[in-house]
Amino acid sequence: MMKLKHFYCLLLLTIFSQATFARDVIPFNNEWSFKKGPFTTDPLQYADIFTGKWQAVSVPHTWNAVDMQTVKDKFYTGDAYYRKAFKADPSWKGKRVFIRFEGVNTNTEVYLNTAPVSFSAEKNDIVYSNSTVNGKYNIVGRHNGGYSAFTLELTDMLKYGQENEILVKVNNEARPDVIPVNHTLFPMYGGIYRPVALIVTEKVNIAVNDFASPGIYIRQENVSKKSADVEVKVKLENKNHDAQKVEVVTTVFEKNGTVKAKQTTPYTILPQGRQQVIQRIAIRNPHLWQGLEDPYLYKLVTQVVQAGKVVDEVIQPLGLRHFELKAGDGMYLNGIKTPMYGVTRHQDHWGKGSALSNADHDQDLAIIKEIGATTIRLAHYQQSEYFYAKCDSIGFIIWAEIPFVNRVTTQEENNAKQQLTELIRQNFNHPSIYVWGLHNEVYSPQAYTIELTTKLNDLAKTEDPDRYSVQVSGYNVIDHPVNNNADIQGINHYFGWYNGKIQDVEQWADKITKDFAGYKIIFSEYGAEANPKHQQEAVGDIGNQWSNPAFFPEEFSTKFHEIHWGVIAKHPVFVASYLWNTFDFATPITFQVEPRNYKGMVTFDRALKKDPFYWYKANWSKEPVLYLTQRRVVERGNQITPVTVYSNIGTPQLFVNGEEIKTFRKGYTDVHYIFEQVKLKEGQNIVEVKGLKDGKAFEDKITWHYAKDNAKSSEKDGPKSNKSEHIGL
């Protein structure tokens, strides 16, 4: 056995030592220079861009980290430029060189060697001398869309052994032909806000610029504990003059590095066009990817070997699993019923916009895991590659979607198709993804929307026959004419916030259960604003969205979520549900006082978890929860008051000023304990709750201050009616 392990170690060392020379991926994130408009003339046409000061930056970078988060309707959209000098290594000559941008928002033009590269640093700025380009611009390529990666080839434009310069023009103005077509639901933070890399390959290589995908596509069928059939499609290119004989070698490695399976395919690559090799690998007794319970990942390594040398290599995750959504029942992962406790996530952070580090993504994932979620809707756009990869390894079940949201212009069809293709090809191999999202809250013109949704659905099923597709409506009518053109119908509805009262959700869910029993339906958004600075002892059944958008008490959101989850939990007609939102986020075009959406369970800066966060944690998480609500309503005006406790460790003991309160009733779920008719004393009141789980003691404590005068200044219940249209904020 020891000899066998030694052999495998030597094999791995041999493979990866060869692979070191196969493909170079070079980070290209530092020593950029930046200049933002507005510009009075076309800077490229008049060479104005090369004059004056440039700011030294590193990417990820955005120019909207402050203005889109703090000043309503007064943020910069328009042109900006990035510039970077670099030396093209002489060893790259005779190879292929690409530049890959993971995310640039929103519309991009890339130029190479447009001007001399003499420059000097001056403090934190870079001063460029005047230069003349004589109208000769070496355009490398363009890309429209701010959330997907794109790759451009530089091979024939580089000066090898010399200094070269990349110039990137970025514009984040809304356009009717590029989705999203406005900044209404969320901001399009301008900039090169995700990492950039140079990729250097041999002339024979796995495709790099197939919509910036990995160039290999892994399908899996007949997955069970006994076996799994894996198909690997490898896209190949040959830029030599003659056909080249190669071997395509795909190896599946266990976590410990041992070989699980291997396939070698001889192939002759012609010098014309892009070709593909399809390999079929049978895996016996696979270790399945079982979500959060056991997110086991194999490593799939595909190599192109020529004359005994590895000339290219791509490594991808392989999580063997089978998703099945059963109407009126829910998700079955590898035949095991799996709860779909769902949250949504916008990627922006306070003070950073969308220019995030891996640590920022890790922080969000840790919070999502803490709340007890099992599935994440990544709204409303393709998110970072790192985030998808971490979801694979953590075990979250993912809904990925394109930013076709909020409005229809009838000019966005080509770009929507492009971005859906990019989303699917770039993320095809992530085992965590179970569904592709086609659009969110788009309706009119009706005929155009139906036709485009149908085309997007056909595209999704052609690109990936094995995953589900979903479309989302903001109306509460399942059989609305624009609905049901995808595998799953998502419904966004905010009872008590945008229309009706909170309790209406139950009647609606009952009706859907009766009328649409055979449909796959997801409750894709529900929520209410909660500003922790706004507190109110008692709230009504209708929020302040229309009556007082400057006052969003946390307590209304708490009540909203208690009722909604109580209804969702007992209505399996919803095969999944997604609360809106995990985190507060920016809304730079909004009617609220601040350019902020406060529907998050957690504040924008990730510093404070609101009461509803602990409601879901108590209901979803396996971690012990014992929590007193209304901890921030310190000044109390009602001497007789209820005390609410969330406990998933059994019946709690409540003490008010040292006296135990024994009378309680259960609320909307088994973790919901309401101690009614609790009497406070004048002045300070200590409220404590205690519990025991597996011999370990838990407690929570808050302090309230009661005074009769507080009642006079307390807010009354909300308005008696709301407007009927949900506008998606």
pLDDT higher than threshold 60 for residue 225? yes
Contact 619, 577 (CB under 8 A): no
- Cis amide leading into 597 (omega within 30): no
Residue 182 has pLDDT above 80, yes or no: yes
Which range among 263-267, 488-492, 549-553 shows the weakest confidence by mean pLDDT?
A: 549-553
CA–CA distance, 213 with 332 (Å, rounded to integer): 29
CB-based burial, 345-363: b 16+ in 10 Å, e otherwise:
bbbbbbebbbbbeeebbee
pLDDT digits (tens, 9 = 90+) for 200-217: 999 999 999 999 999 999
**Which pLDDT belongs to residue 43?**
62
Domain boundary among 200, 223, 258: 200
Same domain (yes/no): 469, 574? yes
Band (pLDDT 50/70/90 cuts) for residue 710 is confident
In this predicted structure, what is the pLDDT of residue 180? 98
The verdict on 196 and 218 lying in the same domain is no
Tell me: pLDDT of 13 over 80.
no
pLDDT at 42: 67
Mean pLDDT value across residues 517-531: 97
pLDDT tens, residue by residue, 298-350: 999 999 999 999 999 999 999 999 999 999 999 999 999 999 999 999 999 99
Q: Which residue has the higher pLDDT, 440 or 52?
A: 440
Distance CA 378, CA 361 (A): 12
Burial 83-118 (b: 16+ CB within 10 A, else e): bbeeebbeebeebbbbbbbbbbbbbbbbbbbbbebe
Shared domain for 480 and 424, answered yes or no, is yes
Distant-in-sequence, close-in-space partners of 18: CB < 8 Å, separation ≥ 6:
309, 310
pLDDT digits (tens, 9 = 90+) for 350-361: 999 999 999 999
163-167, 429-433, 558-562: the lowest-pLDDT one: 163-167
Q: How many other C-beta atoms can be found within 10 angstroms of the C-beta atom of residue 47?
A: 18
Spatial distance between the Cα atoms of 653 and 699, rounded to a whole number of angstroms: 9
- Whether the CB-CB separation of 25 and 199 falls below 8 Å is answered with yes
Q: What are the pLDDT digits (tens) for 70-113?
A: 987 789 999 999 999 999 999 999 999 999 999 999 999 999 98
Q: Which of 562, 583, 618 is the last residue of a domain?
A: 618
> With contact defined as beta carbons under 8 Å apart, do 648 and 624 qualify?
yes
Please report which residue ranges of 35-169 form alpha helices under DSSP H: 43-46, 67-70
Residue 526 carries which side chain, given as an amino acid letter? Y
From residue 135, give the alpha-carbon distance in Å to each of 43, 138, 159.
Answer: 11, 10, 19
Is residue 258 predicted with pLDDT exceeding 50? yes
Closest by alpha carbon to 604, among 580, 623, 584? 584
| pLDDT greater than 60 at residue 725 | no
Q: Within a domain: residue 252?
A: yes
Residues 564 and 654 in one domain: no
Q: Lowest mean pLDDT: which of 13-17, 88-92, 570-574, 691-695?
A: 13-17
**Residue 348 C-alpha from the chain's centroid:** 10
Q: Residues of the chain with pLDDT > 70: what percent?
A: 90
Contact 466, 691 (CB under 8 A): no
Q: Do residues 180 and 172 make contact, with C-beta atoms less than 8 angstroms apart?
A: no
Q: Give backbone dihedrals phi and psi of 316, rounded to 5 degrees, phi first.
A: -135, 155
Identify the pLDDT of residue 722.
40
- pLDDT surpassing 80 at residue 144: yes
Does the pLDDT value for residue 721 go beyond 80? no
Q: Tell whether 572 and 678 lie within a shared domain.
A: no
Average pLDDT over residues 475-484: 91
Please tell me whether residues 462 and 570 are part of one structural domain: yes
- CA atoms lying within 13 Å on the CB side of residue 249: 17
CATH number of the structural domain spanning residue 84: 2.60.120.260
Asked if the structure places residue 75 within a domain, the reply is yes
Taking the C-alpha atoms of residue 545 and residue 557, their distance in angstroms, rounded to an integer, is 12
3-state secondary structure of 553: strand
Structure tokens at 37: 């408009």
CATH number of the domain where residue 518 is located: 3.20.20.80
Query: Per the domain annotation, does 624 fall within a domain?
Result: no
Mean pLDDT, the chain, integer:
91
The Cα–Cα gap between 446 and 481 comes to: 8
What pLDDT score was predicted for residue 714? 54
Any bridge partners for residue 539, and if so which?
A: none
**Within-domain flag for 266:** yes
> Does 720 score more than 80 pLDDT?
no
What's the pLDDT tens digit per position in 387-431?
Answer: 999 999 999 999 999 999 999 999 999 999 999 999 999 999 999
Does 294 lie in the same domain as 267?
yes
Are the C-beta atoms of residues 312 and 304 closer than 8 Å to each other?
Answer: yes
pLDDT, residue 546, reads 86
Where in 23-75 does DSSP place strands (E)? 23-27, 32-36, 52-57
Judged against a pLDDT cut of 70, whether residue 125 lies above it is answered with no
Q: Is the pLDDT of residue 164 over 80?
A: yes
Report the amino acid identity of residue 671: V
| Maximum CA extent, the chain | 92
Q: Is the pLDDT of residue 460 over 60?
A: yes
625: its two tokens? 């929860």
What is residue 593's predicted lDDT score, i.e. its pLDDT?
74
**Amino acid code (one letter) for 21:** F
Structurally, the chain folds into a number of domains equal to 4
Let me know if 441 is a catalytic residue: yes
In whole angstroms, give the CA distance from residue 652 to residue 643: 12
Residues 470 and 402 placed together within one structural domain of the fold: yes
Q: Which residues span the domain enclosing 27?
A: 21-200
- Confidence band for 663, pLDDT divided at 50, 70 and 90: very high
Kindly state the tokens that stand for 293. Answer: 């319970």
Encoded tokens for 22:
């196969």
What dihedral angle (degrees, nearest 10) is formed by the CA atoms of 492, 610, 568, 644? -150
User: Is there a single domain that holds both residue 406 and residue 307?
Assistant: no
Tell me the residue type at 200.
V
Nearest residue to 598 via CA among 642, 536, 540, 554: 554
Distances (CA, A) of 447 to 33, 410, 442, 489: 47, 10, 12, 18
Query: Which backbone phi and psi does 50 adopt, to 5 degrees?
Result: -90, 5
Mean pLDDT value across residues 36-61 = 79
User: 3-state class of 7 per DSSP?
Assistant: helix
- Segment holding 12, helix H or strand E: helix 2-19
- State which of 281, 316, 351 marks the end of a domain: 316
Region of 545 please: left (phi>0), alpha (psi -120 to 50) or beta.
Answer: alpha
Q: Which residue has the tokens 């086991």?
A: 296
Query: Which carries the bigger pLDDT value, residue 717 or residue 258?
Result: 258
pLDDT band at 711 (very low <50, low <70, confident <90, very high): confident
Residue 333 lies in a domain: no
Q: What is the pLDDT of residue 71?
A: 81
Backbone angles phi, psi at 614, to 5 degrees: -75, -25
Would the pLDDT of 130 be above 80?
no
Q: Do 614 and 647 share a structural domain? A: no
Residue type, 435: V
pLDDT reading at 19 higher than 60: no
The pLDDT value recorded for residue 41 is 67
pLDDT, residue 713, reads 59
Question: 441, 525, 537, 562: which one is catalytic?
Answer: 441
For helices 504-515 and 554-569, what crossing angle results, to 10°? 20
Is the bond preceding 349 in cis, omega lying within 30 degrees of 0? no
CATH of the domain at 312: 2.60.40.10
Closest residue by Cα to residue 487 from 326, 650, 662, 377: 326
**Of 675, 713, 279, the residue nearest 536 (C-alpha):** 713
43, 163: one domain: yes
Indicate left, alpha or beta for 692 from its phi (over 0: left) and psi (-120 to 50: alpha).
Answer: beta
At residue 627's C-alpha, the angle toward residues 569 and 391, to 5°, is 60
User: Does 9 reside within a domain?
Assistant: no
What does the alpha-carbon distance between residue 494 and residue 185 come to, in Å, rounded to a whole number? 16
The answer to whether residue 699 scores a pLDDT higher than 90 is yes
* Residue 208 CB neighbours (<10 A): 24
Look at residue 28 and tell me if it is in a domain.
yes
| Short-list 41, 186, 164, 28, CA closest to 105 | 186
pTM of the model: 0.93
Question: Minimum mean pLDDT among 127-131, 201-205, 320-324, 696-700: which range?
Answer: 127-131
The 10 Å CB-count burial string (b at 16+, else e) for 450-468 is bebbebbbebbbebbeebb
In DSSP terms, which residues pair with 643 in a beta bridge? Answer: 675
Assess if residue 66 is contained within a domain: yes
135 shares its domain with 240 = no
Does residue 486 carry a pLDDT above 50? yes
| 221 CB-near residues (< 8 Å, 6+ apart) | 228, 229, 231, 466
**Residue 410: closest CA among 454, 440, 457, 442:** 442
Q: Which of 310, 253, 304 is nearest to 279 (CA)?
A: 304
